[in-house]
Structure 1
Amino acid sequence: MSVTIKDVSKDASVSIKTVSRVINNEANVAESTKKKVLLSVKKLGFKPNKSAQSLRSKKSYMLALLYDNPNKSYLADVQSGIFNACKSTGYNLVIQECDYKSSELKNDIVQFVDDFRIDGLIITPPLSDMSDFLNHLDLSEIQYSVIAPSTMNTESLYVSSNDYEAAYTLTSEIIKHGHTDIGFIKGHPKHSASNLRFNGYLDAIKNHNIEVNENWIKQGNFSFKSGFDAGVEIFHSAAIPTAIFASNDSMAAGIMKSAQMKGLKIPEDISLAGFDDSPIAHQLWPALTTVKQPVEKMSSHAAKILMAKFDGLAEKNKSKEFKSELIFRESLKNL
């Protein structure tokens, strides 16, 4: 037989109402009582029926992922991480595409949350950097967690990664390979990670006493096409760099295509590096040197800290910065 709330009540020596209040993360439950109930829940392997709970409460047991990002690989990793977190808790996920430029975004999302009874939002860049939008959610008393915000607010729920440090380290490694003529492709101008990665590159260049060549720095938007267009511009210059660092792998792939169309070989004529370690990084040939960012773990954690806010049985976690890892492959050579 399946374990019921009555079994938990009996094992913890508390009322059914108290067990219900702990499960729903309601206030005014003594910490000692909460611990006792959670211990019984874990011991007995009790799993509440989310459908029945939804009928009895205002909760839908649904989270929503908000995004406005042209990089489908990144979005797939974010979704996968959230799905993994939801799988063990009985929550479901709704995917909502947004237009960060829309003047109606704030009102549209509040209406969306109300219409679908969304329990909480997981917000990705560039939406996670829009303070007016986030403030509006706060005023509307909507729960949310943010992925890769530009400002780490200790009162908010967030996950981030060490973009600046990773970009600085990879640029330094490119320099150690003998390169001093290094181009850079910026990411989406509204994404905080773009600035962090560019600043990491810039500081590494300057700290190694290398002169910055503005002709080799181009604006992208994390898409393959923006990388391709940036590569076309750079390779039509009078002088070209010996290495290019792109803010993500999709743009690096675009640069690789533009280089090949120009008759340039990688890494013989030009070395190339990306960021994220998305599937395309090892599907290309030569395979791409890059930074492995734990996007799935980050998004899973974002979901967990959000669920813990309103679900008494959810695993308790805190906001966290995740560390990235350098991945060296064939696209980078020593000079």
Structure 2
Amino acid sequence: MKVTINDVAKLAGVSMKTVSRVINKEPSVRQKTYDQVMQAVKELNYQPNTAARNLAGTSSFAIGLVYDNPNAYYVIDMQNGVLSRCKEEGYELVIHPCSSGAADMADEVKTMIKRSRLAGLVLTPPLSEQQHIIDMLDDSGVHYVRLLSGRAAEAQQSANNCIFVDDYAAAYEITEHLISLGHQQIAFVLGDEEHKSTTERLAGYQDALKAHGISPSEALLYHGTYSFESGVKGAKALLSDGNPNKITAILGGNDEVAAGALFAARLMNIEIPAQLSISGFEDSPFSRQTWPKLTTAHQANDIISEHAARLLFSKTRGHRKNDKEITTVFTPNMVVRESTGRISS
């Protein structure tokens, strides 16, 4: 038998109107009443009809996730994180892939918001880094949260609608790890230049080198994209006979790039890690599907996006006591695996 809003009201000892106010996330509801109703909803496994709620009033019960990223693992983790919070809040999730390079990108996002009657948006890089899209959202009065690459100090000075990933600190830590293993000639296969994560990871790598008395060299950089193929091309170029630098380690822009670099090195009969150490970023399945498995920086994209959704809901439905649990700065943690080691003498 289908559970109704009346059943929830009876169990919670409140009126149906109060249940409706709680389900609709109206901020004026007292915390004690909110907790009572949500406990009844949980016990009865009550599922509000989101479509009917959207049609019944002016409020929207859907948010959007907008992305432009070719990495399927990244996208799936982001979707799962936002979706888990949507289920808790009783909202639907509209997923919108797009091309950040399109000239009419701002208009496309604006049309999508109106068509789907969205309460707000979660924006992922590089879209979250494009000022003309942010200006459009500000002019439209739409709630949004941006996922950005940035450092803790930058986060403290930012607006309250950003979730930061400290790529700089992660790159610094991995580079120091490679230096501690005795590596001096450390190459870097970079990702897409339009992503701020690329410049932040590059800065962390270069600053770690300088901190240990090693001068960064443009000859040790390969400007590529966040793809397996770019890792293959980059490693071949850096490790070719024509390169005078005796490279002993390669840092890939992400795990996909690092996996490509490892593949290329094996084709060149280079032993990993005896002759060459390789590291990646993000701890995606790519890092665990290679042989040997990749040293990387664990980036919990599902948790990061779930907190982005929490922050968005704190804006669309008013603040509640659990909003203090929102984390706004995430620093990826290094995971040391078999792909890095000391060079055999």
- TM-score, length basis structure 2: 0.86
1:157 to 155, 161, 179: 161
Instruction: Indicate which of 295, 304, 308 corresponds to 2:301.
Output: 295
1:54-112 alpha-carbon deviations (Å, 9 max, x no partner): 22223442222111112222112111212222233332222212221222111111011
Deviates more, 1:125-134 or 1:152-161: 152-161
Give CA deviations for 1:212-238 in whole Å, capped at 9, x if unaligned: 232111112211112112112101213
- For residue 239 of structure 2, the aligned residue among 230, 235, 238 is 235
CA RMSD between the two structures: 2.6
Aligned-residue offset at 1:194: 1.4
1: CA distance, partners of 2:194 / 2:10: 49
Who is 2:323 aligned against? 316
Given that 2:296 and 2:335 are in contact with CA atoms closer than 8 Å, whether structure 1 keeps it comes out as: yes
Tell me the equivalent position of 2:253.
Answer: 247
Q: Is the 8 A contact 1:147 1:160 kept in 2?
A: yes
1:81·1:295 contact (CA, 8 Å) conserved in 2? yes
Distance between the aligned counterparts of 2:144 and 2:38, measured in 1?
Answer: 27
Q: Residue 119 of structure 1: CA displacement?
A: 2.2
Matched position secondary structure for 1:45: helix
Equivalent position of 1:44 in the other structure: 40
C-alpha distance in structure 2 between counterparts of 1:44 and 1:68, whole Å: 39
Which stretch shows the higher mean deviation, 254-263 or 34-43?
34-43
For residue 313 of structure 2, the aligned residue among 303, 307, 317 is 307
Shift of 1:208: 0.1
**Superposition deviation, residue 8 in structure 1:** 7.6
**Worse-superposed segment, 56-65 or 161-170:** 56-65
Question: 1:176: Cα distance to partner?
Answer: 0.5
What is the CA-CA distance between 1:319 and the residue it aligns to? 5.3
What runs of 5+ residues in structure 2 fail to find an aligned partner?
none
Q: Who is 1:7 aligned against? A: 9
Distance 1:78 1:109 in 2: 18
Q: Matches of 2:135 and 2:166 in 1, distance apart?
A: 25
Which stretch has the larger CA shift, 101-110 or 45-54? 45-54
Aligned residues: 329
Letter in 2 for 1:308: S
Report if the CA contact (8 A) 2:126-2:196 is conserved. Answer: yes
Gaps of 5+ in 1: none
1:64 match = 64
1:66–1:121 contact (8 Å) kept in structure 2: yes
Letter in 1 for 2:281: F
Taking the aligned partners of 1:247 and 1:88, their CA distance within structure 2 comes to: 34
Which of 164, 167, 173 matches 1:169?
173
Q: Partner of 1:148: helix, strand, or coil?
A: strand
Q: Point out the more displaced range, 281-290 or 223-232.
A: 223-232
User: Which residue number corresponds to residue 147 of structure 1?
Assistant: 147
Q: In 1, are the aligned partners of 2:22 and 2:37 still within 8 Å (CA)?
A: no
